[in-house]
Chains A and B, each alone.
Chain A
Amino acid sequence: MIVPLLRIDGLHTRLGELRVVDGVSFSVMPHQTFALLGESGSGKSMTALSIMRLLPEVARIQAGRIDFNGRDLLKLPESAMRDVRGGEIGMIFQEPMTSLNPVLSIGEQVIETLTRHRRLHKRGAREEAATLLQAVGLPDAAKRLNVYPFQLSGGMKQRVMIAMSLAGNPSLLIADEPTTALDVTIQAQVLALLRRIQQQRGMGMLLITHDLGVVAEMADQVGVMYAGELVEIAPRAAFFDHPQHPYSLKLFAALPDRTQRDARLANIVGNVPALDSEFIGCRFAERCEFAFSRCREESPGWTTLADGHAARCHLLETAAVPKSVSVAQTIQLAVASDKVLLQVTDLAVHFPLHSGLWANRRNVIKAVDGVNLHIYQGETLALVGESGCGKTTVGKAIVQLQPATAGRILLDGVDLSALGKRQLHQQRAYVQMIFQDPFSSLNPHLRVIDLLEEGMIALGVEQNAGRRSQILVGLMDQVGLPSRALQRYPHEFSGGQRQRIAIARALAVQPKLIVCDEPTSALDVSVQAQIINLLKDLQAEFNLSLLFITHNLPVADYLAQRIAVMYLGRIVETGSSEEIITRPRHPYTQALLAAVPSLTRPAAANIVNGDIISAAHPPDGCHFRMRCPLAMPICTERYPDEMQLSGTHSVRCHAVAQAERVAGLN
């Protein structure tokens, strides 16, 4: 039998009063990846920090063993632990921006780890650092040693982080959400890199993530955490083939997917239970649809099935395995009319690179550079693209939060961008916005009722205070919050609830169009499902049009009738969701789709290379040509024109145009 590389046994960690890790045991085998899957607050990161003994000050490990290479890490003195950290165990954090020291060059930082843990001399360390950076795919590594972190993109920084964690020749790598802050194409690159390095070095890896797709691509073993406890452990194939625990089942059902476009997403009702008290029954009982009386009285033990699959659920003991969770009734689909509500023509937003009295106003960043789009009444258009492509700026320009440099924004026939201050004020109610981060979009100093009333008062939607509060009570009910929540402050709510409040705030002024700027990307999968369902319901009820800005193609596909793909300030392909997802034509769209980690398809092989290019210096010709596998000479010369492929499908690409011409000739 193989000896596990890392064995955790009965780990209990408390964060103040909270039992953030409550009896977790698992093993990581050498050469294998163990993925710890869980939503925020499940204790997965705390488990990782406990292994490294890097817990915040108020936290302490109460009990348990962490055996690594034959030693109990919890019993090591701090000085020995320092050798383990960054030496035998490497760690990668989620935020590459903050985990590199901004005032040291990346070479110095890698060399520092090398001299610390490998006792290399100066020259040797320098060469080794270059080799390492080369290995993580930093082009021109030897020359780039003197580069500072701010000169690198997020993906590159994460590569440097990986190089640093490899510097001590670790036998175990702990990766805490290593790609969550990255774009899909970059995420695919980094995941591929991690896989390659792991195979080359034969490391064990503990991967912490909330993303089922990442688990599917990376893991050998999967552990699902819920409320500080592991609830299911299984080999990957078994887990994806037949998950056992009701929580895992729900997680799968909550993922938006093509096949269930017309169905509601399964949402897990309620919230993760508070962790400050002892649990008597099953932690999931409050939210589990299979719960029965025993679940509330007795905490379920492990039931081991064949092939190393184990889960903690009373149902398994009785062998009545739930096959699937029920998914609620099909949703009433909003019928998009053929009345165009919003028509955006040649929209451009340029930012000056410098500001101030004597700035040169000719140097600009063309964040949005000639965007055309239209939305029908009651329709959802998804605007998809990676960070920095200008999609949020388009949204803000439509809501008139960002003055447009050029172009027309017609809402119901009124050109918003040409209106004076007074007239614009009257139109403001018709188009509203929901923001990405529900923690920064609600003023913490105002009560919910004040937040909601603000817009109604400012726009004169309802002058009578009594009727206003009646409307608000109704609204709260529609977004699924109790009306007593009106009197409370935002910080008393969870992320999902805050997003509901934000939605209610937008609805309060009876808009015709809502721009949703990544409203679910800061939320957990199960909560994301709730919000998406809610948006669908509300759209049907109020005949709303939605502009749904996202980087998440599956969500866009699930929610939208049409999708527009944006790259560096321009829309490169638009079409119905069906067309974009199943028959993408533009190489960028194809790359995006290939990069999405999938539960069913093996890890993508054809990943686009290169970083996202800054909008400050777009290349001549087609913006995508540096990363495009199909680039041709003509692509450097001019930007491709728009080409209609069908009534709804249009694309801007020379290669596609050529292919169509050839097809037309035959």
Chain B
Amino acid sequence: MSWQPVVLWTDALIFSLAGLILFAFSRKHPHGQLHDAWQRLIQMPMAVASGLILLVFVVIGLLDSLHYRPQLPAQPGHAPQYSVEVISVLDTLLQPLREHQEKTYSAPLATRLYVKETMVQPGGRVLRDYPRLQFGGASLLHPQQDWQRDVTNRIMRGSVIGVLFAALLAAVGAGLLAMRRKCGLGALYRQLLGENNRLPWRTALTTLTILSVVIAVMVELAAAYHVFGTDKVGLDVLYNSVKSIRTGLLIGTLTTLIMLPFAVLLGISAGYFGGWIDDVIQYIYTTLNAIPSVLLIAAAVLLMQVYMEAHPALFDSAAARTDFRLLFLCMILGVTSWTGLCRLLRGETLKLRELDYVQAARAFGVSDWRLMWRHILPNLYHLVLISVVMDFSGLVLAEAVLSYLGVGVDPAMQSWGNMVNTARLEMAREPVVWWPLVAAFSLMFTLVLAANLFADSVRDAFDPHGRQR
């Protein structure tokens, strides 16, 4: 085997979360209310468009969560050795980007460095100029003349490939849909164009095309240039910002995953049992709410840093260290953010508890836990789902803020927050280095916007009160 799998804690959690979601989907809910809500959701154009964008992010994030150690070049007579560096599948896919390191800053799509250097010409002349990049546009003989044509060519080629790819995906999708509806392609075509079509396939198709064109163009350009330029040490900014996707996703999802059990259990218990249990839980979360959360997070993160420095032996690789710190951040964010959902669930449970069907179940002597599980929890699903999706974007942004303050993820880990943090100096520099900030910003913006739009659709689809019939 030329590689050795490495499962980081966060990897395990994120994949179990993905598994859980897949499992929930694969179970049949023939005609329950949730089923109707999902039906409504996939009929909303906005949900489909933002969902597709999110899907791209999720796929990248998941690829980046499959970690392994490559085998080092074999030395005869020795047991195979594995590299200390843990890399992910995504790293392998983006291998060229990772390895094409320049000396220092270079602007997006540039062919030369952003700083002048003293060079010795073959004739012995000493010259101060912007040197050619090692990789960016290296194939061009005469960058001044050829650059524009080359870039245009690549964009055109990328667009064509993107459109073709989108068409391929659409064909596969249509095939699957036809199989599901058990009809021929012609019949499907007629159904989709017909008056009763509820599937927003036009939106889906448009989003799909735009996405695949953008990606294909990027790929084409990245083959020969640094699409978003390079940073101070010459690393490709595109690579950095793509790697940051995983961090953002993890913070957004794992935090909720960690806090969800607490919020649900405590919220339901408080509402259901009332009395002193309710009082105690309420006091806990009001107290927690009264502490400024940034303060709490900063304190906890600093404590953890001290701990990690005191016990270096616990972590066998740099990846494990950064991973632990990320997980810890998720936990502490979870601790500070469960109160909102908990309060919401408590309030709703108070209402549900008085509902006749709960009373009826009590008249049957159904036990409290079973009652909460069967009669109360399912009626809170929509609230949980809505708040999870709504919280997601907030958490992604929180990561950026915290890393900027220096109490976020490990500085060695790629994250948008860290990129923003370094951009502080770059923006003050003359001439300004603007592209890392723009890259981080545009990816984060796309993710958060898509998540917010998706959250809105989810709320419309699932909230039984807010919906217009």
Q: Residues of A at under 8 Å CB distance from B?
A: 56-58, 355-357, 396, 399-401, 424-425, 428, 431-433, 435-437, 440-446, 454-455, 458-459, 488-489, 491-492, 502, 505, 509
For window 141-167 of chain B, which residues contact chain A by CB distance below 8 Å?
none
Given contacts A58-B469, A357-B279, A446-B374, contact A458 B367 (CB under 8 A): yes
- Is A428's CB under 8 angstroms from B357's CB? no
Contacting pair A458 B33 (CB below 8 A) = no
Residue among A424, A431, A459 facing the most chain B CB atoms (10 A cut-off): A459
Complex contact A433–B360 (CB within 8 A)? yes
B359 within 8 A of partner (CB): yes
Q: Closest CB of chain B to A645's CB: distance in Å?
A: 36
CB <8 Å contact, A445 and B364: no
Say whether B374 contacts A441, CB under 8 Å. no
Per-residue CB contact flags for chain B residues 456-469 toward chain A (1 = under 8 Å, else 0) read: 00000000000011
Q: Report yes or no: B359 in contact with A425, Cβ–Cβ below 8 A.
A: no
Q: Are A401 and B469 in contact (CB under 8 A)?
A: no
Partner of B363, one of A56, A356, A401: A401
Knowing A56-B469, A57-B468, A489-B31 are in contact, say whether A445-B379 is a contact too (CB < 8 A): yes
**Is A444 in contact with B33, judged by CB distance below 8 angstroms?**
yes
Query: B364 touching A442 by the CB < 8 A rule?
Result: no
Can you list 19 A-B contacts with CB-CB less than 8 angstroms, sorted by A residue number? A56-B468, A399-B363, A424-B365, A428-B363, A428-B364, A428-B365, A435-B356, A435-B359, A440-B355, A441-B355, A441-B356, A441-B357, A442-B357, A443-B357, A455-B361, A455-B364, A455-B366, A458-B361, A458-B367
Q: How far is the CA of A396 from the CA of B359 in the complex (A)?
A: 9
User: Closest CB of chain B to A15's CB: distance in Å?
Assistant: 9
Task: Check if B279 sits within 8 Å of A492, measured CB to CB.
Answer: no
Residues of A within 8 A of B359 (CB): 396, 401, 433, 435, 441
Question: Is there an interface contact between B469 and A400, defined as CB atoms closer than 8 Å?
Answer: no
How far is A126 from B198 in the complex, measured between Cα atoms in Å? Answer: 53
**A contact patch SS:** loop
Which partner residue on chain A sits nearest B355 by CB separation? A440
- The one of B32, B361, B469 in contact with A445, judged by C-beta atoms closer than 8 angstroms, is B32
Is B132 at the interface (CB under 8 A from chain A)? no
Q: Is B69 an interface residue (CB 8 A)?
A: no
Report B29 CB to chain A, min CB distance, Å. 9
Q: Would A505 and B356 count as touching, CB distance under 8 A?
A: no
Given contacts A441-B357, A459-B364, 6 further A-B contacts (CB under 8 A): A396-B359, A428-B365, A433-B363, A443-B378, A443-B379, A454-B364
Q: Which residues on the A side are within 8 Å of B357 (C-beta)?
A: 440-443
Q: Which residue of B lies closest to A356 (CB)?
A: B279
Nearest A residue (CB) for B377:
A445
Nearest CB in chain A to that of B34: its residue: A445
**Known contacts A356-B279, A357-B279: A435-B32 contact under CB 8 Å:** no
Pick the residue among B360, B362, B365, B469 that contacts A505 (CB under 8 A).
B360
* B40 interface residue per 8 A CB criterion: no
Contact residues in A for B34 (Cβ distance below 8 Å)? 445
- Is A454 a contact partner of B361 (Cβ separation < 8 A)? yes
Chain B residues with CB under 8 Å of A446's CB are: 374
List, in ascending order, chain B residues with CB within 8 A of A505's CB: 360
Decide if B98 is an interface residue (CB 8 Å cutoff).
no
Residues of B within 8 A of A56 (CB): 468-469
Q: Are B356 and A436 in contact (CB under 8 A)?
A: yes
* Contact (A458, B365) CB under 8 Å given A441-B357, A445-B33, A491-B33: yes
- Output the nearest chain A residue to B360 by Cβ-Cβ distance: A441
In the assembled complex, the Cα of A151 lies from the Cα of B357 at a distance in Å of 31
Q: Does B103 contact A (CB under 8 A)?
A: no
CB pair A454 B366 closer than 8 Å: yes
Supposing A440-B355, A489-B32 touch, asked if A458 and B279 sit within 8 A by C-beta, the answer is: no
Interface 1/0 per residue, B244-257 and A, CB below 8 Å:
00000000000000
CB distance from B40 to the nearest CB of A (A): 14
Chain B residue with the shortest CB-CB distance to A435: B356
Q: Which residue of B lies closest to A455 (CB)?
A: B364
Question: CA A502 – CA B370 in complex, angstroms?
Answer: 20
Chain A CB within 10 Å, residue with most, of B355, B365, B370: B365
Q: From B31, B274, B356, B364, give the contact of A509 (CB < 8 A).
A: B364
CA distance A378 to B360 in the complex (A): 22
A446 to B29, CA, bound (A): 10
**Least Cβ–Cβ distance between A90 and chain B, in angstroms:** 27
Using Cβ atoms and an 8 Å threshold, which residues of chain A touch B366? Answer: 454-455, 458
Q: Does any Cβ of A come within 8 Å of B375's Cβ? A: yes
Complexed CA–CA distance, A57 and B469 (Å) = 8
How far is it, in angstroms, between the C-alpha of A401 and the C-alpha of B366 when the chains are bound?
A: 12
Of B32, B34, B360, B362, chain A has the most CB atoms within 10 Å of the CB of B360
Within 8 A of A (CB), among B25-55: 31-34
Bound CA span A428–B31, Å: 32
Q: Which residues of A contact B361 (CB under 8 A)?
A: 443, 454-455, 458
